[in-house]
Amino acid sequence: MHTILNHPLVNHRVALMRDQATPPKLFRELVNEITTFLAYEALKDVRIKEVPVQTPVAKTTGRLVDEHVVLVPILRAGMGMLDAMLHVLPYAKVGVLGMQRNEETAEPIPYYAKVPPAKGEELAIVIDPMLATGGSACDAVSQLHKLGYKRVKFLNLVSAPEGLSRFEKEHPDVPVWSAALDERLNSHYYIVPGLGDAGDRIFGTL
């Protein structure tokens, strides 16, 4: 199951983010803003609890989020989405998965993993700007399942049809939210039209 945020406010920011003339500072701000929109949509079904609240006028009932969330950015580009997620979910725990792409095969090479142990019904949210071949995202979810996480979601900025198709075949139970679904992958496994290397643009290492 996948959701593409086809909204004017999101599309506006995606267009600015794609522009090669956009400097790293603005690029990071756009990533944060788009991630916030993604989080808003992806978290509509989080568990809540009702609590009594005393306003200055009367007693009422409030609804608080009652969810144990673990945010899992894929290093390094996923770190660019982390601040926005923590702004929305300040109580969340954070785990990281490090993966390097084999430039010949485009398959991920895991090199680091530090994720809080699953204890029950935690919700793990994997964040990574690009879903290109789907290799890193699929591997990340597989690692989380092996660690005992039963509830997983995946948020990204831009998806390629090839990566989305692979992800849905390997993990049909994991919902995906994207800000844009692009045309295709090129011969170098980059998303077209895409936005270039998200990690380089976030960290200014072009």
pLDDT for 201 equals 93
Give me 57's structure tokens: 């006028």
Which is nearest to 38 in space by CA: 167, 131, 135? 131
> From the candidates 18, 36, 83, 101, which is the catalytic residue?
101
Q: What is the CATH number of the domain that holds 90?
A: 3.40.50.2020
- CA–chain centroid gap for 59, Å, is 38
> From the candidates 3, 60, 105, 205, which is the catalytic residue?
105
In SS3 terms, 91-148 reads as CCEECEEEEEECCCCCCEEEEEEECCCCCCCCEEEEECCEECCCHHHHHHHHHHHHCC
Considering the domain boundaries, does residue 129 fall inside one? yes
Considering the domain boundaries, does residue 58 fall inside one? no
pLDDT for 107 equals 80
Considering the domain boundaries, does residue 59 fall inside one? no
Active site (annotated) includes residue 101: yes
Considering the domain boundaries, does residue 54 fall inside one? no
pLDDT for 136 equals 94
Give me 196's structure tokens: 């270039």
Domain hosting 194: range is: 2-47+65-203
Cα–Cα distance measured from residue 115 to residue 95, given in angstroms and rounded to the nearest whole number: 4
Considering the domain boundaries, does residue 106 fall inside one? yes
Considering the domain boundaries, does residue 24 fall inside one? yes
Active site (annotated) includes residue 105: yes
Burial class (CB in 10 A: 0-12, 13-18, 19+), 71: buried
Considering the domain boundaries, does residue 52 fall inside one? no
> From the candidates 18, 36, 83, 200, which is the catalytic residue?
200
Instruction: State the virtual CA torsion across 137, 142, 146, 148 in degrees, nearest 10.
Output: 60
Considering the domain boundaries, does residue 60 fall inside one? no
Give the H or E element holding residue 184.
strand 184-185
Active site (annotated) includes residue 35: no
Cα–Cα distance measured from residue 122 to residue 134, given in angstroms and rounded to the nearest whole number: 24
Cα–Cα distance measured from residue 131 to residue 195, given in angstroms and rounded to the nearest whole number: 12
Q: What is the DSSP secondary-structure string of 42-104?
A: HTTT--EEEEEEE-SS-EEEEEEE---EEEEEEETGGGGGHHHHHHH-TT-EE-EEEEEE-TT
Domain total in the chain: 1
Active site (annotated) includes residue 197: yes
pTM across the whole model = 0.93
Give me 92's structure tokens: 């969340």
Burial class (CB in 10 A: 0-12, 13-18, 19+), 51: exposed
pLDDT for 35 equals 98
* Positions in the chain short of pLDDT 70: none
Encode pLDDT of 44-68 as tens digits.
999 999 999 999 999 999 999 999 9
Cα–Cα distance measured from residue 125 to residue 103, given in angstroms and rounded to the nearest whole number: 26
pLDDT for 119 equals 87
